[in-house]
Amino acid sequence: MRFKILLVLSAAFSCFGWGSFGSPQYFWTGAWLSTYSGVSCSSDDLPRATAHKAKFLNALSSGASANGRSYLLQLNYENSTMTYASFASTDKNSCDVVFWTGHGDEGSGKLLSNDCYHERYFPFGGSYTKWVFLEACHFFQYNKNPWSYDDSLMNGAHCVYSFASNYKWFKHQTGSWWCCTFGGCKCFSYSDDRWTYMWERFFSGNYNLWGAYSSAMGDSHAEGGYGVEVAAVTLYGTLQDDNGHTEYNYLFACPTKDWAYEGLIYPGSNPDGYLNAAFLDEVFGTPSY
């Protein structure tokens, strides 16, 4: 895993409101997807987008509920309603988690909305949003500074997880002898299973979130016979939880289950008075770019 400190951010993060958050009543989530069916500006349909979103939300809901947190889908946009305006809206800042599954735009930090806007500089954060998952090809530049876009991309968000390469959609037959003999060759792994793997690993307590994300994406692509480069931009700095426990030089992309709400979803204070941004990436197999 490569880890680079990119810049120091100070006044831009005054919106964090350190010490002002309590434990959330709900785990609020916003979701955006498009299959791009019939969309003229899209070169490829993404027929599994609906399944990808469903697995992401169902696994998050199950894991959060099992760990004493109520889950609520606060915003939900699909196909014709997944517009530039819907994603640029500050309404998404009322969500703890933001999920996008759709097209990226060749390493430019852009996302393609269903109404054919190739837009960048979406601000993530405000007062609540902490984790952003962008299931979009090469959202981050390959072998280039991923923070050449705009500082306002992380307007309070703790971490943006995405890809520096293409990512793959598939329904892959496992082809095992047992499967084909007794299962009638109907045993498959699906690309949407990656989100189940991720949330199950995270909520198991055996992985921090970056570890759960990167390993799940790597394992999922390996099942389909593909490689992938996963990447994230994350805040990096010192914080203190409500019980006075301090973590120094901590990667916000890497909370464990025990820190997910009190320490890194709703931080207490920022002793240093500033935060850095860092870039993480990991390559699995041989990705395509």
* 177 within some domain: yes
Query: Which residue range(s) make up the domain with 249?
Result: 2-284
* 92 within some domain: yes
- What is the rounded CA–CA span in Å between residue 172 and residue 34? 22
* 289 within some domain: no
135, 129 Cβ separation under 8 angstroms: no
* 55 within some domain: yes
Note the pLDDT tens digit of each residue in 160-213: 899 999 999 888 776 655 555 555 555 778 999 999 999 999 999 899 999 999
* 25 within some domain: yes
Count of domains forming the chain: 1
Put the strands of the sheet holding 103-104 in their side by side order.
103-104, 111-112, 118-119
pLDDT tens track, the chain, 289 positions: 554 544 443 323 322 222 223 344 567 899 999 999 999 888 788 989 999 999 999 999 999 888 877 788 989 999 999 998 998 887 888 888 999 999 987 666 788 899 988 776 667 776 677 889 999 998 887 655 555 544 556 677 788 899 999 999 888 776 655 555 555 555 778 999 999 999 999 999 899 999 999 999 999 999 888 999 999 988 777 666 556 667 677 777 887 776 544 334 333 334 344 567 778 889 999 999 8
- What is the rounded CA–CA span in Å between residue 201 and residue 207? 6
CATH number for the domain harbouring residue 92: 3.40.50
Cβ neighbourhood burial of 170 (10 Å; 0-12, 13-18, 19+) = middle
* 120 within some domain: yes
How much is the pTM? 0.84
- For 41, residues 6+ apart whose C-beta sits below 8 A from its C-beta are 112, 116, 118
- What is the rounded CA–CA span in Å between residue 37 and residue 47? 8
* 261 within some domain: yes
Residue 155, classed as helix, strand or coil, is strand
Check residue 141 and report its DSSP letter.
Answer: P
* 130 within some domain: yes
- What is the rounded CA–CA span in Å between residue 253 and residue 99? 15
